[in-house]
Chain A
Amino acid sequence: MKIAVCIKQVASTNGPLQLDVGAGWLREADTTFEINAADSHALEAGLAIRDRLGGEVLVVSLGPDRVTAVLRDALAKGADRAIHVVQDDAHKLDPARVAEALAEVLRDEGRDLILCGLQSDDVGHGQTGALLAECLGWPLVGIVAALEVETPQKVRARRELEAGWSQWVELPPPCVLTIQSGINKPRYAGMKGMLAAKKKPISRVEPQLAGGMRNQQVIEQIYFPHRHKQTRLIEGAPADAAAQLVALLNLRGMQ
């Protein structure tokens, strides 16, 4: 099966954010980046299908030079080749522009299946996968929490619904799925994989935005949420803070 996985590099969610409020974005120099969590599950899903049915996993990432790190890591985990769609300030692009650029790259790749994470942990539009399906004219299932691909001719995906409900959907390739976290356990790259990755190709392409569509959504300002609730912060050393909390809430009375 010929699979493509779209992966995004985002600011690590572990640790405080380094923001430049004036510039309306991260202080990139002080930020650690990593693969978007849902995308790492999408990658694992793609690799697992390829391992079982054969074929190829192509990974694609749009962003500045630093995104080669996540592409290299995906190659080390077993992806066959990578395309880097070179784009500085990618966070300023509308999801529709990102999807168009990805579609342009993927249209002639003869893919059976394209996997994306369901949303990014930075801007969180949650639109790219759906728009990519639309650009390509392919069917889509979103928020996929389980996947059965026994043959390259048929995809069965369990889409998550609210409050613990789900639903199986069957669809013919080529199709796009957006993958939910927790669908699998992403593998780690071993030493052998890392060495092999050095020999695998990463091709660089400039984005081709079809029809010269302009960006329409602009972030005018970023700011910190106004807290609606007065949170009483309890200070002091752990033992102190714990004793205060126990007293304040009369926790002993609840035992």
Chain B
Amino acid sequence: MSAMHGTLVIVERAVDGVSRHSLEVIAYAQALGDPVRVLFPGIPDQAAADLLRAMQVEALLTCAELELCDAYDDDVYVEAIVACIAALNPRHVLLPHSYTARDRAPRLAARLRVSLVSDCIAIEHDAQGYSYIRQLFQGRTLARVRVAGEGPVVVTLQAGIGRAESVARGGAAPVTACVIEPLARTARAVAEAPFRESARNVDLTRARILVAVGRGIKSAENIALARRLADLLGAELAASRAVCDEGWLPIERQVGSSGQTVAPALYIALGISGAVQHLVGMKGADTIVAINKDASAPIFDVADYGIVGDLFEVVPALIQALENP
């Protein structure tokens, strides 16, 4: 077998070919410096193949065995990918830390008997070799992780790690088929078609100002306080998952990876800690204001203005200031 070589990016399919998060991972992989190969789990259509081949990568690999694989047939997916990786022998296997990869990547690593470093925000290299940076305590601290052992390291990368637009292009990568043994199709889990919960009545993406509440609001009754502020500003109410889970606001107001992605002129976050799944949904706002009693809350990483304090004191004061200039 040839020596361990380069970075293998396993992209994820999307309705329009390749997921955006996958492109971010390719951009990140290019910046790492090792030669990059891209594995498409199936046979890409012409548009997707053209897109991927034009990126500066060493090769575009396809796998016909995966083309027939149902969208959520993890058993077949995992086995086929394991067979491809064994033949390619990369140093790093990178995947987007997507919802689907959360299920698949651990099983992939387990079958390869190698480590998976999940949800990384950076890969660094120094005299001692590679290290992997991940968040602990929901982003309140970072950890540098080293990996011992033989074989490739599987890494899933957090959304937002690279810019899909910054992928180096101008390549004309050869397309190579990974030919693997046919797999028994004995899917144990049978998936139905994906669907989206009931039609949304509020389109938060159109709001110019959003007043967003998090668990710090503490109860359904207290939502009235945030609503008062929102009304005064002509803003819509938005929420973190914690608030929607509690049923304090309907799920259609949830911002984040499972909810809506918004980019208003102004986003005022009240008692929201700033977990990454929330941040990906709102960090594109022009101006972000955070009001939180914990100065170490990661929401302050993305805030332009911050007030470290009790929202039950600050919000009434804001209302007061707006009502009585």
Contact = CB atoms under 8 A, between A and B. Distances in A.
Interface of A: 11, 13, 15-17, 19, 24, 94-96, 118, 121-127, 130-131, 133-135, 139-143, 159-172, 175, 178, 181-182, 214, 216-225, 227-229, 231-234, 238-239, 241-243, 245-246, 248-249, 251-252, 254-255
Given A126-B102, A225-B139, A232-B306, A216 B149 contact: yes
B287 A249 contact: yes
B194 A231 contact: no
12 contacts: A16-B294, A118-B102, A122-B136, A125-B118, A130-B106, A166-B194, A171-B189, A218-B146, A221-B144, A222-B144, A229-B303, A254-B233
B89 interface: no
B301 interface: yes
Contacts of B107: 130-131, 133-134, 140
Nearest to B21: A162
Interface of B: 71-72, 74-75, 98-100, 102-107, 109-111, 115-119, 131, 134-149, 188-197, 200, 208-209, 232-234, 241-242, 244-245, 251, 257-261, 266, 273, 287, 289-290, 294, 296, 298, 300-310, 313-314, 316-318, 320-322, 325
A254 B232 CA distance: 9
Contacts of A219: 143-145
The 3 closest A-B CB pairs, nearest first, are: A182-B245, A242-B317, A130-B106
B321 A243 contact: yes
B144 A220 contact: yes
B11 to A, nearest CB: 15
Given A134-B107, A141-B189, A169-B191, A218 B300 contact: no
A5 to B, nearest CB: 19
Nearest to A127: B106
A123 B209 contact: no
Given A124-B119, A130-B102, A175-B189, 17 more contacts: A16-B296, A17-B137, A126-B102, A127-B118, A131-B107, A161-B100, A182-B241, A217-B145, A218-B147, A220-B131, A223-B144, A234-B305, A238-B309, A238-B316, A248-B305, A252-B325, A254-B234
Contact of A229 (B139, B232, B234, B302): B302
Query: Which residue among A216, A220, A222, A233 has the maximum number of chain B CB atoms within 10 Å of its CB?
Result: A216
Contact of B115 (A24, A94, A239): A94
Contacts of B325: 252
Contacts, number: 246
Query: Which residue among B71, B115, B260 has the maximum number of chain A CB atoms within 10 Å of its CB?
Result: B115
Nearest to A171: B189
Contact of A121 (B137, B200, B294, B309): B137
Contacts of B140: 17
B70 to A, nearest CB: 10
B19 to A, nearest CB: 9
Contacts of A168: 191-192
B318 A242 contact: yes
Contacts of A126: 102, 118-119
Contacts of B305: 231-234, 245, 248-249
Contacts of B294: 15-16
Nearest to A13: B138
Nearest to B235: A254
Contacts of B139: 225
Given A17-B296, A234-B306, A161 B99 contact: yes
A249 to B, nearest CB: 7
A169 B188 CA distance: 10
B289 A139 contact: no
B115 A216 contact: yes
Contact of A19 (B141, B195, B234, B310): B141
A231 B142 contact: no
Contacts of A95: 106, 116, 118
A243 B245 CA distance: 33
